[in-house]
Amino acid sequence: MHLGVSESMRECEYSQISTRSSTPMETPYKKRTPKKRKWESFPGRNKFYCNGRIMMAKQTGVFYLTLVLILVTCGLFFTFDCPFLAQQLTPAIPVIGGVLFLFVLGTLLRTSFSDPGVLPRATPDEAADLERQIDVANGSTGYRPPPRTKEVVINGQTVKLKYCFTCKIFRPPRASHCSLCDNCVERFDHHCPWVGNCVGKRNYRFFYMFILSLSFLTIFIFAFVITHIILSSHRSGFLNALKDSPASVLEVVVCFFSVWSIVGLSGFHTYLISSNQTTNEDIKGSWSSKRGKDNYNPYSHGNIFTNCCAALCGPLPPSLVDRRGFIQSDAPQLAPPTNGIIMYGATQSQQSHMVSEIETERPPPHLSSSSKAASPSS
């Protein structure tokens, strides 16, 4: 392997060591360390499993509680109630229950294990470049930090873009910084500890399908466990029926206490989807008419049906964080950071595309061509 190192690579190694004021212990022929993947130095507070394929929030305790509650309740239902119900009523009950259970589990894991739409942080070069643009745009006086907002017009509504001091980017419309995960997330809805992840542009529909199917599953189990208890109480009396199936009692208790919040949450998100709002916008009252007569939601498509289709069937954007890509230590854009930022993120071109998308006032010379391409009007 070492024999194959070209002359230029070796030169590169020498020059790196000489400019970094190496310690005397370092030798130019140091061992080649195995290539690191980008998730290993991801700057946000996330957990990764399966070599970066699975991405979650740091705190996952409540997620495991969700998982245990679903698995235990369904396990008890299929073991103790379904044989009786299938025999007395119809074998369709365990089949429908099984399909619902698999759908709930699938959508939960899809929500929890995926990238919710994290925006990559700016590289030091990009951050410095943006910093310069802000200074020029605000006529830097050096005394007072200039306001770091931009305004864009979306469907006739002025939307403010805020600068994220952690990610060093202007957040695109509807993005927000999750303080728990320490990432800016596109179309940020909320951070959900129950699923152990942020809910954003890339996993919102799965989150919605999860809570909706969980509502049906909870009502389904609740109804048929009650049916089981009633049918067996006809034979042996109510108290004996309860004594004979303690599992059913436990299921009824779990379902009774969880069904209200789950159904309520599904209803709330159905309302949000039908009006194309996020939880974040609803809580802040961003598009509330209380803010002014002509304050309206610019993202709404005008009717409930189109809003639902857009939220549930629209195209899913690809992940912008290349979690499984290799960190290239000799690439020029990954030079050691000068201002203490840990570098990570999408490729330079993705980043500059994003900057150019939100840049509305004064595109920098090297981005002007791409921003022209990005806006169809010019």
Phi, psi of 169 (to 5 degrees): -135, 160
Spatial contact of 297 and 275, defined as CB atoms under 8 Å apart: yes
Q: Which is nearer to Zn ion, 191 or 269 (CB)?
A: 191
- Supply the minimum distance, in Å, between the C-beta of residue 166 and Zn ion: 5
Sign of the CA dihedral with 324 first, then 327, 332, and 333 last:
positive
Binding to Zn ion, residues 172-191 (CB under 5 A): 177-178, 180-181, 184, 191
Per-position DSSP letters for 96-136, written without gaps between them: HHHHHHHHHHHHHHHHHSS---EEPPPPHHHHHHHHHHHHH
Phi, psi of 20 (to 5 degrees): -90, 10
How many amino acids of this chain bind Zn ion (CB under 5 A)?
10
Nearest residue to 46 (alpha-carbon basis) of 182, 148, 190? 182
- Supply the minimum distance, in Å, between the C-beta of residue 180 and Zn ion: 4
Q: Which is nearer to Zn ion, 184 or 241 (CB)?
A: 184
- Supply the minimum distance, in Å, between the C-beta of residue 351 and Zn ion: 14
- Supply the minimum distance, in Å, between the C-beta of residue 329 and Zn ion: 26
Residue 130 makes contact with Zn ion by CB under 5 A: no
Q: Which is nearer to Zn ion, 150 or 177 (CB)?
A: 177
Q: Which is nearer to Zn ion, 178 or 212 (CB)?
A: 178
Q: What is the DSSP letter of 279?
A: H
Spatial contact of 355 and 132, defined as CB atoms under 8 Å apart: no
Cα 175 to Cα 317: distance, rounded to the nearest angstrom: 14
The one-letter code for the residue type at 217 is L
- Supply the minimum distance, in Å, between the C-beta of residue 164 and Zn ion: 3
Pattern 358-377, binding to Zn ion, x per CB under 5 A?
A: --------------------
Query: Which token pair is 377?
Result: 């009007």
- Supply the minimum distance, in Å, between the C-beta of residue 167 and Zn ion: 3
Q: Enumerate the H helices of the chain as residue ranges.
A: 7-19, 61-76, 82-88, 92-112, 124-138, 204-236, 238-244, 246-274, 279-284, 304-313, 348-358, 368-374
Rg (CA), the chain: 27
- In angstroms, how far is the first alpha carbon of the chain from the final one? 52
Q: Which is nearer to Zn ion, 191 or 205 (CB)?
A: 191
Q: Which is nearer to Zn ion, 52 or 172 (CB)?
A: 172
- Supply the minimum distance, in Å, between the C-beta of residue 165 and Zn ion: 8
Catalytic residue chosen out of the listed positions 74, 82, 164, 192: 192
Residue 198 makes contact with Zn ion by CB under 5 A: yes
Binding to Zn ion, residues 245-304 (CB under 5 A): none
Cα 317 to Cα 284: distance, rounded to the nearest angstrom: 26
- Supply the minimum distance, in Å, between the C-beta of residue 38 and Zn ion: 18
Query: Which token pair is 319?
Result: 């992940």
Spatial contact of 93 and 86, defined as CB atoms under 8 Å apart: yes
Binding to Zn ion, residues 131-170 (CB under 5 A): 164, 166-167
Q: Which is nearer to Zn ion, 118 or 225 (CB)?
A: 118
Q: Which is nearer to Zn ion, 97 or 196 (CB)?
A: 196
Is 178 a residue of the active site?
Answer: no
Pattern 19-58, binding to Zn ion, x per CB under 5 A?
A: ----------------------------------------
Per-position DSSP letters for 76-93, written without gaps between them: HIIIIIHHHHHHHT-THH
Q: Which parts of this chain interact with Zn ion (CB under 5 A)?
A: 164, 166-167, 177-178, 180-181, 184, 191, 198
Active site amino acids: 192
